[in-house]
Each structure stands twice: as structure tokens, then as C-alpha cells.
Amino acid sequence: MLEITAIDHIVLRTSKLQQMLEFYCNVLGCTVERETSPENGLVQLRAGSALIDLVTVKSKLGKLGGEAPSATGNNMDHFCLQLKPISDAAIKLHLANFGITEGDFEQRYGAQGFGNSIYIKDPQGNTVELRSMI
């Protein structure tokens, strides 16, 4: 059985990076923890024990989510759930028991640093990332 301990991070797509940075850092008190190249377009902000990832829509990562956030374009790329310690194999087995077989584990960066995680889809098509630091 999977047991969620926290939200690890959320990923917001934006066409207003500077305004988003000012809002999350100046208004809400987040700090910039990590930035990738401008081509990848990712800025990760520390928000307590979690991260808020900002992805510019015209970047390599941002283009994967379609058009800019609007009434018809997605603003949230995915969210990540931190699980109690459990092996990748046990997660895959658990998901398979519910007919979820797509997705592979990859090394990704989250609020707890680098670790393996897997992307799956919920019934509405939202992307959910699962990770356990063991």
C-alpha cells in the first residue's frame, strides 16, 4: 500500500516568469533554489519542505505542455507526491494491481534532492509524479 507523506513539488507553466518570481519570492517568501538553462526554462523555488517549479512556456520543457496558460491551455504541468519509503519495484507492482502499467522510473530533482520517480495519469488525464526516497 502506498502512503503519502507530503506534496513534494508542483510545476506551474508561465509566460510571465519575472512577475511569477516577484510574487512567489517577494510576496510569499520563497527563495530560488535551482535554475536550469534558459533553453530548459526551469526555475525551482523553495516553499517550506516543498518546491514550486516555474517553467516558461516557450522553453523546451514548457512546450511539452502545449499553449500558454489560458482558458484552453494548461497552467499546471504536474504535481508530485512524496511517499513513505518503498522500492521502485513495489510501486510498480502496486500500480499494476490497479491496471496502471505505463511509465518508467527516471532520476529527477525534487524537494528532497535527486531521486527516482515515475509519472502516471489520473482518470482526468492529470499527470501525477510519485517518488519515494529510500
Q: Coil, strand, or helix at residue 132?
A: coil
Q: Kindly indicate the confidence band of residue 13, based on its pLDDT and cuts at 50, 70 and 90.
A: confident
Mean pLDDT of 53-67: 86
Return mean pLDDT, the chain: 88
- The pLDDT, as a whole number, for residue 124 is 60
- Nearest 5°: the CA angle 64, 95, 60 is 10
42-47 vs 31-35, strand pairing mode: antiparallel
Domains and CATH numbers, the chain: 4-131 (3.10.180.10)
- The pTM of the full predicted model, rounded to 2 decimals, is 0.73
Residues 88-106 pLDDT 10s:
999 999 999 999 988 899 9
